[in-house]
Amino acid sequence: MTTTDPTTPVLSAEEPDTGRRRIPGARYLQAFRTPRGMVAAVLVLGLALLAGLAPVLFPGGYDEQTPDALLPVSLAHPFGTDELGRDIFVRSIYGLRTDLALVLYAVPAAMVIGTILGLLGAVAGWLGTLVQRMLDIIVGFPGLILGISVVLVVGTGFWGLVISIVLIGLPTFGRLARQVLLTQQNREYVLAARTLGIGRWRIMVRHILPNTLDPILVQGSVFIVQAVFLEAGLSIVGLGIQPPEPSLGSLLNLGMRYVEQAPTYIIGPIVVLLLLALAFSLLTDALNEAVNRK
């Protein structure tokens, strides 16, 4: 019986090793040749650029206060203004920046640590089993409960969120890597390589690691969306990013107070959040398609 999240794409753990990858990146670039992939690329790049260039585009920063509080939508303020007269569009972009920064730290960390943990089984069988039991326990904690537990220890703010996201991501990546390891370990070529006296490390680096790359990468794309939602969830309840620093979640936290007076206050961050989710879902699909195409 498997307890993996059923929403995660079922991936190439069963596929034979294609072995030869001359230009490793090229396969992934194929993802962007489909229309869906192109939309994904444009969206992701667009959002990343917007976030990255925010200080250039909006040199006033996210804290430019004016006397015009809670203005409705207008050309000058596409999402209106907040209670201190700050432009919510600008704040949403800076919020996006915070979220993407979070993703940039947390997701690669979760991928790398998770994969290493998953592959530990290759060192010794018992170690692999032990790691899996530990991951099982993490899975037992519903996502936000785990987040709250982490915040309890390290406190609210950016790094609390990074740690929560990494912890929540570990089981997914760890299990995925282990799945690949187990299938590959019993493949004939691995058994053959072993009888030929090729060392464990060599087998690991040459054969098993490349095979984990595809599923981990696709899963990483899925996980980006989860990470952003986790930030939003924790910040909404007040345990994530603390105002005045904007994040998509902390904007929602503030905006909830004014939901009846100025609904656009939360609509802005929601739109950005949805765009972000859409971009990375499309990216996941495109990547998935690309790695499964042989």
- State the sign of the Cα–Cα–Cα–Cα dihedral 172, 176, 181, 182: positive
Q: Segment near another protein (CB under 8 A), from 38-46, 118-126, 170-178, 251-259? A: 251-259
- Residue 26 interacting with another protein (CB under 8 A): no
**Count, residues near another protein per rule CB under 8 A:** 52
- Residue 257 interacting with another protein (CB under 8 A): yes
What's 9's DSSP letter?
Answer: P
The closest alpha carbon to 81, from 264, 273, 260, belongs to: 264
- State the sign of the Cα–Cα–Cα–Cα dihedral 39, 176, 225, 106: negative
- Residue 145 interacting with another protein (CB under 8 A): yes
- State the sign of the Cα–Cα–Cα–Cα dihedral 173, 161, 138, 121: positive
Shortest distance (Å) from residue 285 CB to another protein: 10
Q: Segment near another protein (CB under 8 A), from 39-47, 95-103, 147-155, 211-219? A: 147-155
Query: What are the CB-based long-range contacts (under 8 Å, 24+) for 123-130?
Result: 123/200, 128/178, 128/181
Q: Quick one: which of 137, 186, 196, 197 contacts another protein (CB under 8 A)?
A: 137
Q: Distances from the Cα of 14 to the Cαs of 108, 182, 187, 221, 284, in angstroms?
A: 24, 10, 10, 21, 19
Q: Segment near another protein (CB under 8 A), from 51-59, 61-69, 89-97, 185-193? A: 61-69
- Residue 126 interacting with another protein (CB under 8 A): no
Cis peptide before 24 (omega within 30 of 0): no
Give the binding site for another protein (CB under 8 A): 1, 3, 6-7, 63, 65, 67, 69, 83-85, 133, 136-137, 140-145, 148-149, 151-153, 155, 225, 229, 232-233, 236-239, 242-244, 252, 256-257, 259-261, 263, 266-267, 270, 273-274, 277-278, 281
